[in-house]
């Protein structure tokens, strides 16, 4: 059934009319002009040979296009996933070794299988528990780490890296006397060219032109002979397909990192899908996209490559280039294929400082401190979460996966805290006869012997004590109280703990001569109250359909009571 649905959707997503084919061809060509140099750069960031990036931009791109749900999403190497890959494996193996590369391949396989599992179980919604402020804090810190990590390559400085990013940055300053001027020159010129193309010729493939010009310059002046680092030999032809190296101990060790990569890479792809969906008015399916992204990673592992993800920048370019169907991504992969088959020898003299410049300029757009400020303005809790995640990610670097795990724990802690302490308002009657927050609107008490309270949240085991304390505090502050009205429009769910708390509270208040009344009770809450017999204990005469009826009736009852009551 699932395969039939995939095949049916596959036919609907492709359009082979002349206009659509033309649009997809030029969109694919445009994206490939950016994807090829970016793939080489992001492979360097991931700590693997540059041509692994081209492998990751070939078959994985096609798989992501065929099995995903968004027509314009471009899958391939991306900065964040590449950095997470290098950071996850750095404590286990030295960069450039066969062991390091085998772990990169294994990480692609595990993270892909995690995404496929979540997609098949239709559990994509579970990956949304990472709050936006935490994600923004992580992305800002990761972007800074990515940019700063390229300084040694940009300056041509080599030293033994430690397990602490901030210490390595200080080492760069200490080794500044070992600066390789030709390398720095290539890096700075690349940055100037990229900035120039971005501001004055944004429609041109600035990254590709910069790479071509500086590769030719490197060849002309024999930059490699000067001691400069170049890409070197790239094997011609297609990557060999084989089963990834499997090792049980390594698999267990890499599981937490694989989960983080599965989470972050999907959130990056998801943000692109949402933007595309809004602009094209096309639906997308998060569970299907999980499967598509997972299959792309698994295929990357079988191609002996690195983890991939949906690229925000290349997807935006795909959309801006008027791509109509997933064929555009397939065409961009075919141009990568032609590069592997016919043009790898031309990349031999590509200076690594140029790739470092490409990486630094690519992640510059990720730095957005305004997002952290906005989180603070919305809620101090969100602002603190964003700031702590930012600091933790920098402090843990290069093990930035610990930073995002800190953020996840913060997200869950904040969620639990908010569930435990929903907003509670003591109510007064506004001039329009509605019940509103008495403190916020400076409203007088309803009546010396009548109080009202509103609870803005589901009444669950985590917050029943908070609700009970609010009622008892209202009782203590008003010794003459006879009726307490619970305005229930904000209570959309109640569990067994909530029912039991209300039973005990009713009995305690009744013994003190105080009655609980309820208004605007939602249907699902009323059903639970009735099923459990709580409605009988409350009494139908203390249940009101509207707030207005409740206030009018309770005031009448109080007026009919003896003044001494």
Give residue-wise pLDDT tens across range 317-365.
888 888 889 999 999 999 999 999 988 888 899 999 999 999 888 888 7
Q: How far apart are CA 490 and CA 520, in angstroms?
A: 9
CA nearest to 61, candidates 83, 28, 88, 84: 28
For 376, half-sphere exposure in the C-beta direction (CA atoms, 13 angstrom radius) is: 10
Q: What angle do CA 109, 114, 117 make, to 5 degrees?
A: 120
- Asked if residues 73 and 273 have their Cβ atoms less than 8 Å apart, the reply is yes
Please report how the helices 312-320 and 18-46 are oriented relative to each other, as an axis angle in degrees rounded to 10: 160
Q: For position 163, what pLDDT does the model report?
A: 62
Q: How far apart are CA 217 and CA 219, in angstroms?
A: 5
End-to-end CA distance of the chain: 70
Q: For position 233, what pLDDT does the model report?
A: 84
Q: For position 218, what pLDDT does the model report?
A: 95
**Is the pLDDT confidence value at 414 over 90?**
no
Predicted TM-score (pTM) of this structure:
0.78
CA nearest to 543, candidates 457, 482, 485: 485
Q: How far apart are CA 553 and CA 221, in angstroms?
A: 93
Which of left, alpha, beta for 5 (phi over 0: left; psi -120 to 50: alpha)? alpha
**Is the pLDDT confidence value at 2 over 70?**
no
Q: For position 10, what pLDDT does the model report?
A: 64
Which residue did the predictor score with more confidence, 251 or 9?
251
3-class DSSP assignment, residue 565: coil
In which band, very low, low, confident or very high, does the pLDDT at 7 lie, cut at 50, 70 and 90?
low
Those residues whose C-beta lies under 8 Å from the C-beta of residue 494, and which sit 6 or more positions away, are: 458, 459, 460, 525, 528, 529
The percentage of residues in the chain with a pLDDT greater than 90, rounded to a whole number, is 46
Mean per-residue pLDDT of the chain: 88
For 108, half-sphere exposure in the C-beta direction (CA atoms, 13 angstrom radius) is: 33
Q: For position 305, what pLDDT does the model report?
A: 92
The percentage of residues in the chain with a pLDDT greater than 70, rounded to a whole number, is 95
- Asked if residues 318 and 329 have their Cβ atoms less than 8 Å apart, the reply is yes
**Is the pLDDT confidence value at 445 over 80?**
yes
pLDDT digits (tens, 9 = 90+) for 463-500: 999 999 999 999 998 888 899 999 999 999 999 999 99
In which band, very low, low, confident or very high, does the pLDDT at 427 lie, cut at 50, 70 and 90?
very high
Burial class (CB in 10 A: 0-12, 13-18, 19+), 175: middle
Least confident range of 5-14, 483-492, 496-505 = 5-14
Beta bridge partners of 451: 484
Average pLDDT, stretch 211-227? 93
Q: How far apart are CA 126 and CA 258, in angstroms?
A: 16
Alpha-helical runs (H) found in 449-519:
464-477, 496-511
pLDDT digits (tens, 9 = 90+) for 228-238: 999 888 887 78
- Asked if residues 108 and 298 have their Cβ atoms less than 8 Å apart, the reply is yes
Q: How far apart are CA 108 and CA 111, in angstroms?
A: 5
pLDDT digits (tens, 9 = 90+) for 132-191: 888 889 889 888 888 888 888 888 887 656 566 767 777 777 777 788 999 999 999 999
pLDDT digits (tens, 9 = 90+) for 511-564: 989 999 999 999 999 999 999 999 999 999 999 999 999 999 999 998 887 765
CA nearest to 171, candidates 154, 151, 191: 151
For 8, half-sphere exposure in the C-beta direction (CA atoms, 13 angstrom radius) is: 5
Instruction: From residue 2, give the alpha-carbon distance in Å to each of 52, 222, 288, 489.
Output: 33, 56, 11, 41
Q: Cα Rg for the chain, rounded, in angstroms?
A: 30
Q: For position 485, what pLDDT does the model report?
A: 94
- Asked if residues 119 and 288 have their Cβ atoms less than 8 Å apart, the reply is yes
User: In this structure, what DSSP letter does residue 171 have?
Assistant: H
Q: Which of 32-41, 87-96, 328-337 has the highest mean pLDDT?
A: 328-337
**Is the pLDDT confidence value at 565 over 60?**
no
**Is the pLDDT confidence value at 402 over 70?**
yes
Q: How far apart are CA 74 and CA 316, in angstroms?
A: 9
Beta bridge partners of 424: 455
pLDDT digits (tens, 9 = 90+) for 268-310: 888 788 878 888 888 888 889 999 999 999 999 999 899 999 9
């Amino acid at each position: 059934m699932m395969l039939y649905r995939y095949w049916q959707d596959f036919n609907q997503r492709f359009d082979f009319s002349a206009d659509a084919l033309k649009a997809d061809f030029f969109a694919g060509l445009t994206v490939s002009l950016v994807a090829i140099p970016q793939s080489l750069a992001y492979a360097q960031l991931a700590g693997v040979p540059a041509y692994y990036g081209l492998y990751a931009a070939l078959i994985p791109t096609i798989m992501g296009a065929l099995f995903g749900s968004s027509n314009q999403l471009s899958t391939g190497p991306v900065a964040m996933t590449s950095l997470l890959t290098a950071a996850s494996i750095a404590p286990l193996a030295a960069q450039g070794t066969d062991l390091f590369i085998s772990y990169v391949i294994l990480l692609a396989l595990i993270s892909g299988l995690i995404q496929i599992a979540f997609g098949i179980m239709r559990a994509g919604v579970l990956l949304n528990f990472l709050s936006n402020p935490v994600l923004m804090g992580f992305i800002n810190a990761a972007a800074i780490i990515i940019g700063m990590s390229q300084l040694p390559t940009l300056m041509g400085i080599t030293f033994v890296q430690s397990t602490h990013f901030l210490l390595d940055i200080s080492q760069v300053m200490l080794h500044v006397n070992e600066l390789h001027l030709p390398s720095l020159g290539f890096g700075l010129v690349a940055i100037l060219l990229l900035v120039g193309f971005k501001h004055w010729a944004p429609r041109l493939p600035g990254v590709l032109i910069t790479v071509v010009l500086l590769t030719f310059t490197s060849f002309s002046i024999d930059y490699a002979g000067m001691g400069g680092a170049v890409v070197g030999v790239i094997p011609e032809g297609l990557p060999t397909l084989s089963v990834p190296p499997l090792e049980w101990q390594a698999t267990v060790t890499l599981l937490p990192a694989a989960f983080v990569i599965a989470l972050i890479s999907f959130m990056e792809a998801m943000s692109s899908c949402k933007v595309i969906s809004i602009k094209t008015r096309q639906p997308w399916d998060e569970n299907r996209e999980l499967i598509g992204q997972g299959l792309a990673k698994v295929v990357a592992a079988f191609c002996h490559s690195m983890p991939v993800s949906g690229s925000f920048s290349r997807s935006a370019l795909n959309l801006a280039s008027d791509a109509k169907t997933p064929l555009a991504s397939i065409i961009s992969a075919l141009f990568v294929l032609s590069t592997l088959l016919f043009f790898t020898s031309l990349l031999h003299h590509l200076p690594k400082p140029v790739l470092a410049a490409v990486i630094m300029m690519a992640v510059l757009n990720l730095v957005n401190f305004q997002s952290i400020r906005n989180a603070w303005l919305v809620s101090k809790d969100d602002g603190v979460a964003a700031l702590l995640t930012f600091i933790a990610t920098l402090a843990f670097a290069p093990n930035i996966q610990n930073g995002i795990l800190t953020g996840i724990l913060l997200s869950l802690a904040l969620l639990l805290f908010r569930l435990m302490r929903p907003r509670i308002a003591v109510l007064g009657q506004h001039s329009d006869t509605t019940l509103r927050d008495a403190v916020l609107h400076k409203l007088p008490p309803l009546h010396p012997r009548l109080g009202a309270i509103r609870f803005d949240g589901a009444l669950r085991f985590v917050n029943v004590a908070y609700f009970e304390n609010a009622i008892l505090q209202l009782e203590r502050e008003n010794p003459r109280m006879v009726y307490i009205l619970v305005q229930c429009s904000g209570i959309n769910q109640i569990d067994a703990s909530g029912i039991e708390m209300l039973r005990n509270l009713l009995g305690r208040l009744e013994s003190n001569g105080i009655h609980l009344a309820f208004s605007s009770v939602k249907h699902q809450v009323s059903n639970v109250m009735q099923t459990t017999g709580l409605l009988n204990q409350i009494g139908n005469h203390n249940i009101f359909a509207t707030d207005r009826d409740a206030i009018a009736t309770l005031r009448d009852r109080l007026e009919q009571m003896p003044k001494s009551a």
